[in-house]
A and B are shown apart, each in its own frame.
Chain A
């Protein structure tokens, strides 16, 4: 009986952890999507200072949730996201338009893949 109680406690803890983790990831995705849209709007207007500012905000937002992401996401994926963000920042600094949009699209895709991977979807399950 004690074992069953312990198992129920573990299950509740696991459930809580999964719930909090999913919430954190969804929040990150929401904030990041909003910032990415701003970056893209700035890109249309060729407002490079706005792009740099928003990229900095993206970096800060990412750093805030980095630990949560690291708990369940492969180090390789985390590194790829960070490299993409750093490269985007550099391209924005030198105003390299085609390089920036290519790298930034990649960064956005990689980041958007996290909630897709962490959330529940039949495709991921299968």
Chain B
């Protein structure tokens, strides 16, 4: 029983680290090769947990090889269009400038009901309202609305807007994030002054502190006292 517990913990941390190494893309959206790797990793990782006769190292080795292959494949796909096309495919155009590509829809087994569902999901009720409908390589369908049916933007109304500014968190639940402090060109003296101004002694008394780049606007939320 202890073996199972230990093996589960080892495999858990190992798979988390491995998925982290594979990058954010693999976690967010799955391309065919990434889906295969994810399924295979979950299968291989479960083997030594459910059957303690299976050596742990054998599964770890298999997972490492899968991840290495996936990293190499994504690296070559990034460098070469040909590799990308072979392993990840190309987007499929279903609808373009008033023309429905029925052959492509048939090839992707994408029926009219699916098309209508995607239109509705994107705020359109008819093909008249859209310019393009295409299926991305990860299977997600993108619907580009016709310009007259697209939501109005400040640019359409010729309204001048301020550029979006990045806000950096400096204190997260009492923990000072020194990297962000440096990134903003601020120092401990500035922080001490800010804390004193808010009648606080140290970063531990702050639950949340963020500073907006360029404007220097701060948001400070003191930490609530824990009930004993």
Contacts and interface: CB of A to CB of B under 8 A. Distances in A.
Contact of A74 (B23, B55, B71, B72): B55
Nearest to B22: A3
B12 interface: no
B57 A75 contact: no
User: Most A CB atoms within 10 A — which of B21, B54, B57, B68?
Assistant: B68
A72 B64 contact: no
B67 A74 contact: no
Interface in A76-123: 76
Contacts of A76: 53
Contacts of A7: 67-68, 71-72, 75
Interface stretch (A10-18, A24-32, A44-52, A54-62): A10-18
Contacts of A71: 55, 57-58
B125 interface: no
A73 interface: yes
B55 A14 contact: no
B26 to A, nearest CB: 11
Interface of B is mostly: helix
A34 interface: no
B78 to A, nearest CB: 10
Interface in B65-116: 65, 67-68, 71-72, 75
Nearest to B54: A74
Contacts of A10: 64, 67-68
| A contact face: mostly helix, strand, loop, or mixed | helix
Interface string B14-58: 000000010100000000000000000000000000001111011
B58 A72 contact: yes
Contacts of B54: 74
Contacts of A73: 55
B61 A17 contact: yes
A125 interface: no
A50 B67 CA distance: 51
B52 A75 contact: yes
Given A4-B71, A4-B72, A4-B75, A14 B64 contact: yes
A74 B51 CA distance: 10
Interface string B176-214: 000000000000000000000000000000000000000
B58 A14 contact: no
B21 A3 contact: yes
Nearest to A6: B21
A3 B23 contact: yes
Nearest to B60: A14
A18 B68 CA distance: 15
Given A74-B53, A74-B55, 13 more contacts: A3-B23, A3-B71, A4-B75, A6-B21, A7-B72, A7-B75, A10-B64, A10-B68, A14-B61, A14-B68, A17-B61, A71-B57, A72-B61
Top 9 A-B residue pairs of the complex, sorted by shortest distance between their CB atoms:
A7-B71, A75-B53, A7-B68, A71-B57, A74-B53, A76-B53, A4-B75, A11-B68, A72-B58
21 contacts: A3-B23, A4-B75, A6-B71, A7-B67, A7-B68, A7-B75, A10-B64, A10-B68, A14-B61, A14-B68, A17-B61, A18-B61, A70-B55, A71-B55, A71-B57, A71-B58, A72-B58, A74-B53, A74-B54, A75-B52, A75-B53
